[in-house]
């Protein structure tokens, strides 16, 4: 059965699975196996992918491509409604192709369980620009995974991967996310799953800058993404990594993500970074980092909300 399955699939996809499998190939395999039944999918992976990290990445792609988020169900409803509770069960979520963060994570962990990949369900808090703009406290409303191989734990955010799966540079961001970067948007109830030697407090989590994975995935590994400080004149200075060919700008905004005030700043650029020295700022309004570049046919390409900075009056 497994031999026939392997041969028929290879004939239809015209790929070679020998040796280490590249991420792009895993992505294409995940794209083309969306119609498979749960058992057929597991059989195909067992017959064709051997490395645990490749298996974990394949299922990360598969869920991000083929699953959709169900906005009609809350975590609170899951604990009080039988139908809502069923929606996050593995087989129900797989068949409906629609579930919540808990369903995404349960399905991902169930896939890993079949291949003896150690995993944990992580519950905790999440942050988005909405928390900044509307001054909403982060809620204990989210779930993600911790997975382990070669005696090392890694973090996987399978639900939010769905948002970036079509961006080739950003689509892998939530697979083995750097723990320090994960803490900018996720705060686990059990501090063990921060995977950091120096643990964050909940207050630090709430006040930290927010970054879009689009920006983080285009940053330079090992370098500090953003640094804010006051110079000798008391002016606010923000140093940012600059993606190649993009022009960065700052805006002070209000709760409706609209211009709040006119920021006056001077800019100093280097090959891969930019420094903003802000001359006029009330110290209270959140500051949003935007980017723009000129694309084909001189059309503007905008990337708004790459980062949000708060509590800058406390610097």
- Please, what sign has the CA dihedral across residues 241, 289, 197, 121? negative
Q: Tokens for 238, please give them.
A: 């923000």
Q: Which two tokens stand for residue 203?
A: 């207050």
Q: What is the four-CA torsion angle of 82, 87, 90, 95, rounded to 10 degrees?
A: 130
If one counts every other C-beta atom within 10 angstroms of the C-beta of residue 79, the result is 9
Cα separation, 50 vs 28, whole angstroms: 17
CB 250 within 8 A of CB 262: no
Cα torsion 103, 109, 112, 113 to 10°: value is -110
Task: List the beta strands (DSSP E) in 48-135.
Answer: 68-69, 98-99, 118-126
Q: Which tokens belong to 74? A: 């809350």
Both tokens of 167, joined, read: 């961006």
For the chain, state the CA radius of gyration.
22
pTM attached to this predicted model: 0.85
Domains and CATH numbers, the chain: 2-208 (3.10.620), 226-314 (2.60.40)
Residues in the chain: 315
Say which residue the tokens 């083995």 belong to. 176
Give me 99's structure tokens. Answer: 């579930």
Backbone conformation region of residue 221, classed left if phi is above 0, alpha if psi is from -120 to 50, else beta: beta
Cα-based torsion angle of the residue sequence 255, 203, 220, 158 in order, rounded to the nearest 10 degrees: -80
C-alpha torsion sign, points 212, 181, 287, 242: negative
b/e per residue, 22-53, with b = 16+ CB within 10 A?
A: eeebbbebbeebeebeeeebbbbbebbbeebb
Q: What is the mean pLDDT of each run of 10 residues along the chain (315 residues)?
A: 41 46 93 96 96 96 95 60 61 89 94 97 91 78 93 96 90 94 94 97 90 81 76 90 85 73 86 88 84 75 85 62
Extended strands (E) in 40-116: 68-69, 98-99
User: CA angle 116-168-115, nearest 5°?
Assistant: 5
Which tokens go with 227?
Answer: 């640094």
Q: Are 247 and 294 in contact (CB under 8 A)?
A: no
């Amino acid at each position: 059965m497994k031999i026939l399955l392997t041969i028929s699939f290879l004939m239809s996809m015209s790929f070679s699975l020998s040796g280490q499998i590249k991420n792009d190939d895993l992505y294409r395999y995940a794209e083309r196996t969306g119609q498979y039944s749960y058992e057929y999918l597991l059989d195909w992976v067992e017959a064709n992918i051997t490395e645990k990290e490749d298996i974990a990445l394949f299922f990360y792609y598969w869920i991000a491509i083929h699953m959709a988020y169900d906005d009609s169900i809350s975590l609170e409803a899951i604990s009080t409604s039988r139908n809502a509770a069923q929606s996050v069960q593995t087989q129900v979520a797989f068949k409906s192709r629609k579930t919540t963060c808990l369903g995404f994570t349960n399905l991902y962990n169930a896939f890993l369980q079949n291949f003896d990949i150690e995993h944990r369900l992580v519950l905790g808090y999440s942050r988005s620009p909405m928390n900044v703009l509307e001054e909403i406290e982060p809620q204990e409303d989210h779930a993600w995974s911790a997975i382990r191989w070669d005696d090392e734990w890694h973090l996987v955010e399978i639900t939010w991967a769905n948002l970036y799966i079509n961006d080739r540079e950003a689509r892998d961001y939530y697979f083995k996310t750097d723990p320090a970067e994960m803490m900018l948007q996720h705060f686990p109830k059990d501090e063990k799953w921060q995977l950091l030697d120096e643990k964050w407090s909940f207050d630090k989590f709430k006040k930290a800058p927010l970054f879009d994975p689009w920006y983080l995935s285009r940053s330079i590994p090992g370098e500090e993404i953003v640094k804010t400080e006051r110079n000798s004149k008391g002016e606010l200075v923000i140093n940012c990594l600059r993606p190649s060919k993009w022009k960065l700008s700052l805006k002070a905004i209000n709760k409706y993500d609209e211009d709040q005030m006119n920021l006056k700043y001077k800019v100093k650029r280097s090959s891969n970074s930019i420094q903003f020295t802000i001359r006029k700022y009330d110290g209270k309004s959140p500051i949003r980092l935007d980017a723009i570049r000129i694309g084909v046919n001189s059309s503007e390409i905008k990337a708004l909300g790459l980062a949000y900075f708060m509590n800058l009056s406390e610097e």
